[in-house]
Structure 1
């Protein structure tokens, strides 16, 4: 039976000879060819290869690229595909540090007058060489055969808003004996499957969000596998991730130690260990593991899944830990080190601004310093970064100004309209927020924008228009969310609300939707409106309601209220977790050491 498997890129970016030190890691498009006699563009892509289970034959593997620009439609343009031979970081790579690629040409393909359509490039041989282990998978590079001739072609990248048109790897796998996946899962423990099959089933369950099933499959695979199999390092990695999802921290730590026995240079595992130790409150052991990551250096290519764990990512994690310890000088130091190692990594800039705000530095000085980190000639992408940085710190007026500056460089960008709308929403300028959201007529943000439009009307007490907007969203896939927004409207109108569900399992589907809405309302609504909105929690029956409410209060620095809800969660439901215990302890410290912000 023929199975068509699709993968989207884990990395993709363009490099440009005319701007040799510029990185385009988060740009919406990929380009290849020469532009205006001076800019040579090449594109890099890397895909995570699937695990092909069962017996079969890979008949064809094609790279699908959606053409959005074709400058020379009257000419036939030839392009070539090469195998990249070293790791590249899509957020740091540029033309000046182009990764090495093999001299062996894997494919030449031709583009004629294609536009607004997919082209297909057969890379079956390259896929086979990767999958068989003949060569490690570092991705591929596409370039023009003749880079002296103007022949620019552009495609959507994985960062495009048009998710339906991003690059794809399409694998035609003819499976001789297809085993039903659902039956396989049901028969685990009854029929003995190959370890690689369990791993594949675990991946399917993980992607579907069924972490318990993924855990069972990965555990079976680990029990049966041998360390020389290609997929086993990633199996260890995935097992640790799923254990963390399920709160099985001790088992995750044991799995890490087991993995390090097989792969002592597996820096990623040491980094994961540091994060788990910190979650358990073992701060100094976590710091010790992070320093071990730096000393170990980068993992060998076949066990390297997390970029930067030997440098900038670890420095940033150290910064986060020292910030939580309120050692702001040390936190600032490690943020600077992270930024120095990778100037394109935005997370340290967020931390630096956060520290300076907490130190009550002058806001104009903070803005100036943040801009200096990004260079002298700021562009739309830089202003977007600054907007996001100050948005995260709840400086919504400043964030709005930066998003508006970004708009001067990037026209008709729906993401900017959405961000500007959220700034106005949190500034309680509901009409202005609505006018931003209403500009979004299509694309991945459309549904979210309509919900925010409806919320603006609800908070303005314009319930008739709110209902009209919510009715736009009538379909089974978003029915739960629509019900909750209707519930908020009815609560604010003083209507009697009947419970949606009195069963925990059914309530599960509404729990996160309610708390996502409360997370918005705690900032966007007046205190009395937020208090009323808490009645949404009466619509469901779930023993984690108070625990999640406590964490929400803690996140927004209402420490006294957080502590009270943690206490109620323990008394009424006997519910607390490691994260909650840590928050509860810190909330008590905050209450004892400083005046506490309350409603």
Structure 2
């Protein structure tokens, strides 16, 4: 039996090699159908000996894929996107499947990486990957295409099988989504389809997904609700519809409706562990701790969901252990929390968040720093390398133990090639330890990379805090377009405030002021970590130099993050009184402060 790989491409020079490399050893031919690339995509395909065809893009994925299938000579077709790759282990499970005379179509497990880089954050889907050629199978639908058979009305389900073979998908990483503008492309197609059939359940669901990806939750909810009105458990996308609807309601903090959907979902799909997990998360957020604990423990006793019901990976494992650790930590039961964090690490050794919590946990339980460091080091084995030292540095930096973090970063520095990131980390530790000249020297070593500009401003900050005002001015002028650069203008204003000089408005335009807000609050955050109260008080005047009615709300949240709960509460109240500004998160934090207020007077 021969196997053809079919891939549709357009400007995929960053991805195509990874895709082809993952499959080239098991396929007999590679079919590339290009829909208009202007980069090196075709050249890369040629280097692999692919058969290349051209198809003008017509806003219809099915047409392009069906054209590719027509070119395939193999007995079977393996269909992949250019931003995907077969698991290096699982791909060798594919060839034996070709000899099964009873099956025509195989679905594989697609694992989509989410966030900024491939890692722990993933989502799961089932997708058709393998099908017999020359049997009339083809796609229909302009987007999120479905398989059909031109020779018969319905696919014989007995000829369809799910295999636990993983295909990694890189197309939902933040950078890839932004570069490709996938949401814009997809929504254009879906809008056309919904004009033709406004109540198509599948298209409504997919339009909701695009808005959810853009974090436009109100619009996503509108489309999900329209699809949910005609909810039918038997439809293939219905479990995902429930899941996405729940996530949207969660983002909008519509908890009552969220619980109703969760309850209905679990009645329809009792083995859907994701929904059990999300219900427990909801109870946790609502501080219904007993119900939340029962829910997460129930997840741990359930078998992994069937592949067609799986989206949030490993909810029956490390995620529930970690959640139980978080609950017991909030309840002050640090020993129980510690045990659950350990279980989370055992279940997922490359999941490092429990280590951050364990460090906090041990210190809260009265362990001294040497004991805490020894306990954390054990998780990395006997021989610590630069990566382990760097991670340990991150852990102790995150809990404000900058002296210990500095020691670990220094050990990483001694074992690795010159690296701007390690210089920057060492400089930040020294800055927060108030060793301004030592911090300056580390920042000075940075000559390139993403943190270079940050380092220049941190050097200016070091000079201001050391009262070397003229040097600070020189560094500010080194930055690109310093006369118009908003960050430069903020630092100039801060420099003047620090020495008691007058400052003019940065902006009295509300829209323009929005650009200043994150710059000012990054600076305020640094000053709070440095614990320089006198100069922090002066820096607060920066908030009067812009026109923004959310600054007190943001200041309150900043105080809260640093444990200044009384100040946080006062700023929340001032935000309400002066600007009538509060949000759901602010209300929740005020409630938390009230719960903690037994030790002080608000």
Specify whether residues 197 and 346 from structure 1 end up closer, same or farther in structure 2 by C-alpha distance, changes over 3 A only: same
Specify whether residues 235 and 359 from structure 1 end up closer, same or farther in structure 2 by C-alpha distance, changes over 3 A only: same
3-state DSSP class of the match of 1:139? strand
1:136 to partner: Cα distance = 6.2
Task: Give the one of 392, 397, 421 matched to 2:427.
Answer: 421
1:139 counterpart residue number: 166
Specify whether residues 500 and 563 from structure 1 end up closer, same or farther in structure 2 by C-alpha distance, changes over 3 A only: same
Residue 214, structure 1, aligned to residue 220, structure 2: yes
- Point out the structure with the larger helix share: 2
Instruction: State the distance in 1 between where 2:260 and 2:568 align.
Output: 33
1:269 counterpart residue number: 275
Specify whether residues 320 and 82 from structure 1 end up closer, same or farther in structure 2 by C-alpha distance, changes over 3 A only: closer
Alignment of 1:304-453 (within 5 A): 304-453=310-459
1:240 to partner: Cα distance = 3.1
TM-score normalised over the length of structure 1 = 0.67
Q: Per-residue displacement from partner, 1:436-459 (whole Å, max 9, x unpaired)?
A: 334343334344444434443444
Instruction: State the distance in 1 between where 2:480 and 2:197 align.
Output: 44
3-state DSSP class of the match of 1:443? coil
Instruction: State the distance in 2 between where 1:237 and 1:499 align.
Output: 45
Residue 57, structure 1, aligned to residue 84, structure 2: no
Instruction: State the distance in 2 between where 1:53 and 1:295 align.
Output: 44
Instruction: State the distance in 1 between where 2:241 and 2:470 align.
Output: 53
CA contact (8 A) 2:233 2:268 kept: yes
2:299 counterpart residue number: 293
1:113 counterpart residue number: none
1:397 to partner: Cα distance = 1.0
3-state DSSP class of the match of 2:64? strand
1:319 to partner: Cα distance = 1.3
1:25 counterpart residue number: none
Task: Give the one of 470, 490, 507 matched to 1:500.
Answer: 507
Alignment of 1:432-511 (within 5 A): 432-463=438-469, 465-466=471-472, 469-470=475-476, 474=480, 481-493=487-499, 494-498=501-505, 500-501=507-508, 503=510, 507-511=513-517
Q: Per-residue displacement from partner, 1:70-129 (whole Å, max 9, x unpaired)?
A: xxxxxxxxxxx8667xxxxxxxxxxxxx668514299xxxxxxxxxxxxxxxxxxx9854
1:396 to partner: Cα distance = 0.5
3-state DSSP class of the match of 2:278? helix
Task: Give the one of 536, 545, 548 matched to 1:539.
Answer: 545
Instruction: State the distance in 2 between where 1:303 and 1:401 align.
Output: 46
3-state DSSP class of the match of 1:361? coil
1:348 to partner: Cα distance = 1.6
Instruction: State the distance in 2 between where 1:435 and 1:275 align.
Output: 45
Instruction: State the distance in 1 between where 2:469 and 2:193 align.
Output: 52
TM-score normalised over the length of structure 2 = 0.67
3-state DSSP class of the match of 2:95? strand
Specify whether residues 190 and 320 from structure 1 end up closer, same or farther in structure 2 by C-alpha distance, changes over 3 A only: same
Q: Which has the higher contact order (CA 8 A, sep 6+)?
A: 1
2:289 counterpart residue number: 283
1:562 counterpart residue number: 568
Aligned CA RMSD, in angstroms, stands at: 4.7
Specify whether residues 531 and 298 from structure 1 end up closer, same or farther in structure 2 by C-alpha distance, changes over 3 A only: farther
CA contact (8 A) 1:481 1:513 kept: yes
Q: Per-residue displacement from partner, 1:265-291 (whole Å, max 9, x unpaired)?
A: 222222222223322333332222222
CA contact (8 A) 1:202 1:215 kept: yes
Specify whether residues 492 and 251 from structure 1 end up closer, same or farther in structure 2 by C-alpha distance, changes over 3 A only: farther
1:552 counterpart residue number: 558
Instruction: State the distance in 1 between where 2:577 and 2:469 align.
Output: 38
Aligned length: 486
Residue 514, structure 1, aligned to residue 520, structure 2: yes
Point out where structure 1 has 5 or more consecutive residues left out of the alignment.
Answer: 13-51, 66-80, 85-97, 107-125, 142-156
Alignment of 1:63-102 (within 5 A): 63=82, 101-102=92-93
Instruction: State the distance in 2 between where 1:6 and 1:197 align.
Output: 30
1:372 to partner: Cα distance = 1.8
Quick check: 436-445 or 587-596, which moved more?
A: 587-596
CA contact (8 A) 1:82 1:102 kept: no
Point out where structure 2 has 5 or more consecutive residues left out of the alignment.
Answer: 1-7, 20-58, 69-78, 98-126, 132-144, 148-159
Specify whether residues 486 and 234 from structure 1 end up closer, same or farther in structure 2 by C-alpha distance, changes over 3 A only: farther
1:464 to partner: Cα distance = 5.0
